[in-house]
A and B are shown apart, each in its own frame.
Chain A
Amino acid sequence: MNAARRPIFLAVLLLVLAAALAFLLSDYRLFQMTMVVAYAIAILGLDMLTGYTGQISLGHGAFYAVGAYTAAILMANFDVPYWATLPIAALICAGFGFAFGFPALRLGGLYLALATFALAIAVPQLLKYKAFEAWTGGVQGIVISKPDPPFGLKLSQDQWLYLFTLAVAAVLFLLARNLLRGRIGLAMRAVRDHALAAEAMGIDIALLKTRTFALSAMYTGIAGALGAIAVQFVAPDSFAVFFSITLFVGLVVGGITSLLGAVFGAIFIVFIPNIADKISKAAPGAIYGVILIAFLYLLPMGFAGLLRRAARLDACAAPPTKTLAPPPGKMAEEIRIRNG
């Protein structure tokens, strides 16, 4: 097979297999898989900012929460159909991300991490605030109903919601792939690797970072809306600081700057707490911690690092292998000849 076509083929294969799960798993498992897909989108959003652009965010749970509440409020109070809440949540979260990112990104490094952390602390409390209670439902949160499959399709609600979420994710992943492998993606990585040199190449760092922040918040916000529709319920305490850290864990375990890594990170944060809970009801946190450390030890560059290593082995098995040493200066030679 053509080497350039292979990733596309693999992506389509993966998507077909993922869609097939809708007809193989129980409704509860499908609900879990729906959450995996939603979290994968959220982690991909975080990856654009933290992985690609190098701006650490410990507060992406806040954008997820804003997306989730946007969907819930629109559905419960304004009877907006579930699918129509997604673009609205996307716009609101992008605006929110832009507004927050504009001043915050000037901080950079560890200070940005703290500023986003502060956001993660503030948002759940704001959601409980009395003045917004008519909309947010205060501490009680909002209950929404699960959408039925359209066009009289013979699917259960969980099957339909899983396939719908998967389709949205497929589109978002495709758009992200296009963006991240082109000039914008390169510019993001350039800013992360060496900001001053990136600037000398004509990259407007403040603008790029702010736009990336908005895009990142948008992805995570859409994930929040999808998650809220799947859970049928939003409440402030679901989006506490710990949730933001969980997304960060998913990013690191999955491996940064990798689309598949985001999926793996999402699988990790959905299923490992369950597994930990099964192993020990008394101390699931401790088991989770041990599993997490084991993963970081075994996969130091995350799941994506493992994939890259496998790809490299694959490439080495096929001739010709590349040489590290630079070839003798062809150009210098040419000039030497010309100059006698």
Chain B
Amino acid sequence: MRGSAETDAVLRLRPGAEAALLLRVAGVMVRFGGVQALAGVSFDVARGQICGLIGPNGSGKTTLFNCISGIYRYGAGKILFADQDLAAVSRARLAGLGIGRTFQNVALFRSMTVRENILVGAHHLGRSGFLANALALPSVAREAQAAAARLDDLLDRLDLAAVADIAVARLPFGTQKRVELARALIGAPKLLLLDEPAGGLNHDEVAALADLLQDIRERFALTILLVEHHMNLVMRVSDKVVALEFGGKIADGTPDEVRREPRVIRAYLGDGADASAA
């Protein structure tokens, strides 16, 4: 297997770094037919970090996102979440491990109200099955109460209380995005994967989103990985930015470091652009 030597080297941890590490992407390769979508990308995300994943169209950031969220299988490399190899984990078990996500163009349950949508996000916290629910056993009521308490808290925090009983399909896009965020948060994730959270939002909404992301990171002790086109947002909220181009990593560091990296500038602005233009 190509790249396994590199993978092994990356997987050897420095002592002490272990506790802080939450997500490790190591030498991940994906090939679609003849196209190398990801050519061995590696980076780490520490607990509590907001990590921005950027790159021009076709750079492989969405492919990488889909590998972490279990949509694509990768040919080589490893993705470790809290020391667990995600290759062996089915998509439905990711939520239980503590990985929550949102979708690029919002993937809400259209026939449901805001309240119901968010409650589905708490599904993996419950244990009661068909029989217990049909018989309305006390354990079911306890679970429902616990979920309802989390729900009320999130409705408040994300400003959704007034629309809680409205069908999501009738709400504006920006509100739908908040519903999706609440749906991911109610499941108490450790890692939150956000797929272009600023897509389709207006200028004010993006500013509010930046504040919101930093706020929920603190309140819910979250680690966030976001794939995003919106440069201002990424640079403003991220502790760390990883830049991809043509399926390879071209920069990895603080927003300032990545902003100054010549290869990033070239990737975004083309040859001949200077640093000040970024």
Judged by a CB distance under 8 angstroms, whether B69 is at the interface is yes
Judged by a CB distance under 8 angstroms, whether B78 is at the interface is no
Judged by a CB distance under 8 angstroms, whether B4 is at the interface is no
- Residues from chain A with a CB closer than 8 A to the CB of B83 are none
- Residues from chain B with a CB closer than 8 A to the CB of A189 are 109, 111-112, 116
Judged by a CB distance under 8 angstroms, whether B235 is at the interface is no
Q: Mark B94-120, 1 if CB is under 8 A from A, else 0.
A: 111000110100011111100010011
Judged by a CB distance under 8 angstroms, whether B153 is at the interface is no
Of chain B, the residue at the smallest CB distance from A184 is B133
Q: With A186-B120, A322-B162 given, is the CB distance from A175 to B211 under 8 Å?
A: no
Judged by a CB distance under 8 angstroms, whether A225 is at the interface is no
- Residues from chain B with a CB closer than 8 A to the CB of A325 are 172
Judged by a CB distance under 8 angstroms, whether A152 is at the interface is no
- Residues from chain A with a CB closer than 8 A to the CB of B109 are 189-190, 193-194, 197-198
A205 lies within 8 A of B92 (CB): yes
- Residues from chain B with a CB closer than 8 A to the CB of A192 are 111
Rounded to whole angstroms, the CA-CA distance of A193 and B128 in the bound complex is 22
- Residues from chain B with a CB closer than 8 A to the CB of A332 are 159, 207-208, 211-212
Judged by a CB distance under 8 angstroms, whether B175 is at the interface is yes
A202 lies within 8 A of B92 (CB): yes
- Residues from chain B with a CB closer than 8 A to the CB of A186 are 112, 116, 119-120, 123
Rounded to whole angstroms, the CA-CA distance of A194 and B117 in the bound complex is 11
Q: Which residue of A179, A201, A329 has the most chain B CB atoms within 10 A of its CB atom?
A: A201
Q: Tell me which of B163-171, B244-252, B265-273 binds A.
A: B163-171
Rounded to whole angstroms, the CA-CA distance of A305 and B198 in the bound complex is 36
Q: With A322-B162, A326-B175 given, is the CB distance from A201 to B144 under 8 Å?
A: no
Q: Which residue of B90, B136, B144, B172 has the most chain A CB atoms within 10 A of its CB atom?
A: B136
Judged by a CB distance under 8 angstroms, whether B2 is at the interface is no
- Residues from chain B with a CB closer than 8 A to the CB of A179 are 130, 133-134
B140 lies within 8 A of A200 (CB): no
Rounded to whole angstroms, the CA-CA distance of A178 and B128 in the bound complex is 12
- CB of B121 to closest CB in A, whole Å: 5
Q: How many residues of B contact A (CB 8 A)?
A: 57
- CB of A209 to closest CB in B, whole Å: 12
- Residues from chain B with a CB closer than 8 A to the CB of A176 are 134
B166 lies within 8 A of A201 (CB): no
- CB of A284 to closest CB in B, whole Å: 36
Of chain B, the residue at the smallest CB distance from A212 is B130
- CB of A313 to closest CB in B, whole Å: 16
A215 lies within 8 A of B159 (CB): no
From the candidates B107, B134, B170, B174, name the one contacting A194 in the complex (CB within 8 A): B107
From the candidates A178, A187, A322, A329, name the one contacting B135 in the complex (CB within 8 A): A178
Q: Mark B160-193, 1 if CB is under 8 A from A, else 0.
A: 1011011000111011000000010001000000
Rounded to whole angstroms, the CA-CA distance of A175 and B134 in the bound complex is 5
Q: With A187-B120, A189-B109, A331-B158 given, is the CB distance from A339 to B92 under 8 Å?
A: no
Judged by a CB distance under 8 angstroms, whether B239 is at the interface is no
Q: Mark B112-153, 1 if CB is under 8 A from A, else 0.
A: 100010011111101011100111100010011001000000
- CB of A192 to closest CB in B, whole Å: 8
Q: Mark B65-93, 1 if CB is under 8 A from A, else 0.
A: 00001010000000000000000001111
Judged by a CB distance under 8 angstroms, whether B215 is at the interface is yes
Judged by a CB distance under 8 angstroms, whether A128 is at the interface is no
10 A-B residue contacts at CB 8 Å?
A: A178-B135, A186-B119, A189-B112, A197-B109, A202-B94, A203-B124, A322-B162, A324-B166, A326-B175, A339-B211
